[in-house]
Copies of this chain bind each other. A is one copy, B any other.
């Protein structure tokens, strides 16, 4: 984005530590734990939001965590459990006494309990289900019948709805006479006699309108209904694309079964992004900063193993040219440059393509134009770096032919990088494989193999 030269403006405050717990605050809390000073601990923790307490627990080590939780005891809030990273949630639940756990879980909304339960082992699941009240347990168990990562798991079952023929006055009277309205709601969902949602009315509009106005005349322009089995990533996309605040969820008969609100969609969007970033780097998307060494090692190994195979593959290409390298050792010096440039250019194209696929910006209607663009970009940058490396090769080793060989190999590899970086994720997506997960290894294999083969092959033809 361009700066606004027209306007003199104060500086934006990029406060690095705006929300992170200070090192000092953490030290004070751990000191209270050391002294087993419960009053002091409770006083220090009291102003913290459950999300910040969860972050704190994730950042300290397992021993401190155990001591802190035991000392904090009955103050432990259910929301802390909801906010905790999955990787240490089981550990924390194991530390809590049964009474504290029961109390903590009973405070939670049913959709938060679902979120908590789905990652636990069966035994812990049952322990938690047992402490719930009957009505809550039924709600939680019904939610668990929907598949993981579905809209059904995300939704709240408490919906505020009204018949489509009501007017404002009827709706307001209904709301004011209903005892058990949900904690948070933003819309009244209008439904037809068969309980199919037909529109949303915001509470603000309701407030601002006269009693005799029909609800039907107040519905929002953008109305989006979500199928209960829809993938949560698509739900998050819809919220972001259409600026939804809440959206009704319907079953296969198009009947209203629940509502999803934007805060849950935002959390999903955040997770999806996180997964994409990590997968692109070959890190298991379920790993977390709180994982231990053994866990992390196991999670990182497979990708490194895949990379080893591709690296060996590239070495096999080099091995075909041993004789040439023995004659002209400069080839060994220069060959990694061609491979490395191809790998980087390929990763650039790849990342753009993977993101565009994820945001549904890369579709049937522009796929060929995007591929053509990436290949052309590879060609032009290839020519630029060909000139640079041609000169470097000539100056360094005093051989025009060597300069020419590396220049030609550079052009070839950068064009191939553009093609592979775009084509491979598109093909994987067509095959139903997550392109973020697998493309990286394929693309660098291609650019390594092509890079070494083009450079060394041309060298054999031209130099020997």
Do A245 and B363 have beta carbons less than 8 Å apart?
no
Q: How far is the CA of A182 from the CA of B204 in the complex (A)?
A: 8
Candidates B58, B269, B280, B289; contact of A280 at CB < 8 Å: B280
Is A11 an interface position by the 8 A CB rule? yes
Candidates B296, B333, B366; contact of A59 at CB < 8 Å: B366
Q: Which residues of B contact A454 (CB under 8 A)?
A: none
Do B7 and A341 have beta carbons less than 8 Å apart?
no
Smallest beta-carbon distance A160→chain B, Å: 8
Do B148 and A12 have beta carbons less than 8 Å apart?
yes
Q: Which residues of B contact A278 (CB under 8 A)?
A: 351-352, 355
Q: Which residues of B contact A222 (CB under 8 A)?
A: 49
Is A191 an interface position by the 8 A CB rule? no
> B-facing mask of A1-30, CB < 8 A → 1, else 0?
111111101111111101111110011000
Closest to A346 in B: B281
Do A341 and B304 have beta carbons less than 8 Å apart?
yes
Candidates B4, B267, B388; contact of A148 at CB < 8 Å: B4
Do A184 and B245 have beta carbons less than 8 Å apart?
yes
Do A119 and B363 have beta carbons less than 8 Å apart?
no
Q: Which residues of B contact A18 (CB under 8 A)?
A: 230-231, 234, 237-238
Is A450 an interface position by the 8 A CB rule? no
Q: How far is the CA of A318 from the CA of B245 in the complex (A)?
A: 58
Smallest beta-carbon distance A345→chain B, Å: 6
Do B363 and A21 have beta carbons less than 8 Å apart?
yes
Q: How many copies does the complex hold?
A: 2
Do B361 and A55 have beta carbons less than 8 Å apart?
yes
Is A125 an interface position by the 8 A CB rule? yes
Do B23 and A365 have beta carbons less than 8 Å apart?
yes
Do B329 and A315 have beta carbons less than 8 Å apart?
no
Q: How far is the CA of A240 from the CA of B301 in the complex (A)?
A: 32
Do B118 and A4 have beta carbons less than 8 Å apart?
yes
Residues A185-237 near B (CB distance < 8 A): 185-186, 202-204, 207-208, 222, 227, 229-234, 237
- Size band of the A side of the interface? 35 or more
Candidates B238, B274, B332, B385; contact of A332 at CB < 8 Å: B332
Is A51 an interface position by the 8 A CB rule? yes
Known: A266-B269, A381-B297. A333 touches B315 (CB 8 A): yes
Between A20, A58, A185, A231, the greatest number of chain B beta carbons within 10 A of the residue's beta carbon is seen for A20
Closest to A61 in B: B369
Q: Which residues of B contact A172 (CB under 8 A)?
A: 207
Do B59 and A365 have beta carbons less than 8 Å apart?
yes
Question: 27 A-B contacts, Cβ less than 8 Å apart?
Answer: A1-B86, A1-B118, A9-B144, A10-B147, A10-B229, A11-B229, A13-B231, A14-B231, A14-B233, A14-B234, A18-B238, A19-B241, A23-B365, A49-B241, A51-B243, A186-B186, A245-B263, A265-B266, A266-B269, A297-B377, A297-B381, A304-B345, A312-B392, A322-B333, A326-B329, A329-B332, A336-B448
14 additional contacts (CB under 8 A) given A61-B369, A184-B202, A186-B204: A1-B118, A1-B286, A4-B148, A9-B145, A9-B147, A19-B238, A176-B208, A186-B245, A277-B351, A282-B344, A283-B351, A301-B381, A311-B336, A318-B332
